[in-house]
Amino acid sequence: MVMQQKDRKGFFSRLKEGLSKTRSNITSRVDELVKYYSEIDDEFFEELEEALIIADVGTQTTEDIMRDIRQRVKNEKIGDVSRIKGLLKEKAVSILEDGVHNLTLPSPTVILVVGVNGVGKTTTIGKLAGRYKKEGKKVLIAAADTFRAAAGEQLEIWSKRAEVPIVLHGEGADPAAVVFDAIQSAKSRNTDILLCDTAGRLHNKKNLMNELRKINRVIEREFPEAHKEVLLVIDAATGQNAITQAFLFKETVGVTGIALTKLDGTAKGGVVLAVKAQLGIPIYFVGVGEQVDDLQPFNAGEFADALFDS
């Protein structure tokens, strides 16, 4: 800073020397220059803001983060542009890492997988089954998506790939009944992890959300000794609607974690930052491909890096 002040002084005096006109003329020029500098600052911050918006972080969370960053830049008198970017990442990581789960699950555990249509619930279940099976756990799948055509068949194929048993009723069956059966089966088999697939539903459909509530009730009533996780699956390409989704699913069945899928595309999934900041739901997994191994534990640092690399 001292260096800079010196420079600026020199610059001012040079300006004075160069311009032998009236004083007012000089000051107006200086004003212009100062304005110019502050505009560069604004432009720079705006650029950062754009990066967040483009990554789907959303206006509110972006504003909150930027206010924080501006304050720190001001307080700590940070002038180095690259450091500011670092601060931004730091901030994102601190939001994302707060209260994160270590993902070791006690036995027995029930994982209820929920989400809107087409986000990749069934595929995520298939991958989770493969993952826990590999860890030496006894896994059982409940095919409680009895609505979508051939959802059961799709899950059956995944269960064969992962070599884990599946409880399957026909299309149109009561999903709560499937879960009920699966719980009984899990108890008699001494299953470590029971994975429950559910039909995709838009969070604003009251009846479908009530159906989910019923499934949740069955789990709580029939399997109270089990540890319960409710995994909300969010498509990385989803925009600001993910916040409403998370809010309503949380209200209905108490979402405990998020699986962010399809991160192998160009979408950055930044909306989970907003979901975490505003609703406090941590991200457990990220899906990066169609293979069984393409579901990985969430890493806040890597995620933040990807968020701001355009």
| 291 binds another protein, rule: CB under 8 A | no
Q: Minimum distance between the CB of residue 232 and another protein, rounded to whole angstroms?
A: 14
Task: Say if residue 108 is preceded by a cis peptide, omega within 30 of 0.
Answer: yes
Task: Decide if 126 contacts 195 (C-beta within 8 A).
Answer: no
Per CB under 8 A, the list member of 290, 293, 302, 305 interacting with another protein is: 290
Within 138-197, the residues that bind another protein by CB under 8 A are 147-151, 153-154, 156-158, 171
Exposure on the CB side of residue 47, measured as CA atoms within 13 A: 13
**Beta bridge partners of residue 193, listed in sequence order:** 109, 139
Nearer to another protein by C-beta: 183 or 255? 255
Q: Which run of H or E residues covers position 162? A: helix 151-162
Per CB under 8 A, the list member of 19, 103, 202, 279 interacting with another protein is: 202
Q: Which stretch binds another protein (CB under 8 A): 3-11, 26-34, 47-55, 217-225?
A: 47-55
Within 228-287, the residues that bind another protein by CB under 8 A are 235-242, 244, 262, 264-268, 271
Q: Which run of H or E residues covers position 227? A: strand 227-235
Q: Minimum distance between the CB of residue 225 and another protein, rounded to whole angstroms?
A: 33
Strands 193-198 and 295-297: unpaired
| 118 binds another protein, rule: CB under 8 A | yes
Count of residues for the chain?
Answer: 310
**Beta bridge partners of residue 198, listed in sequence order:** 144
Nearer to another protein by C-beta: 192 or 197? 197
Q: Minimum distance between the CB of residue 114 and another protein, rounded to whole angstroms?
A: 15
Nearer to another protein by C-beta: 83 or 205? 205
Strands 227-235 and 283-287: unpaired
Q: Minimum distance between the CB of residue 228 and another protein, rounded to whole angstroms?
A: 26
| 67 binds another protein, rule: CB under 8 A | no
Of residues 264, 259, 244, the one with CA closest to residue 298: 259
As a whole number of angstroms, the distance between CA 174 and CA 151 comes to: 14
Per CB under 8 A, the list member of 110, 112, 113, 119 interacting with another protein is: 119
As a whole number of angstroms, the distance between CA 252 and CA 216 comes to: 9
Exposure on the CB side of residue 229, measured as CA atoms within 13 A: 26
| 310 binds another protein, rule: CB under 8 A | no
Which residues contribute to the site for another protein (CB under 8 A)?
A: 50, 53-56, 58-60, 116-120, 126, 147-151, 153-154, 156-158, 171, 202-205, 235-242, 244, 262, 264-268, 271, 290
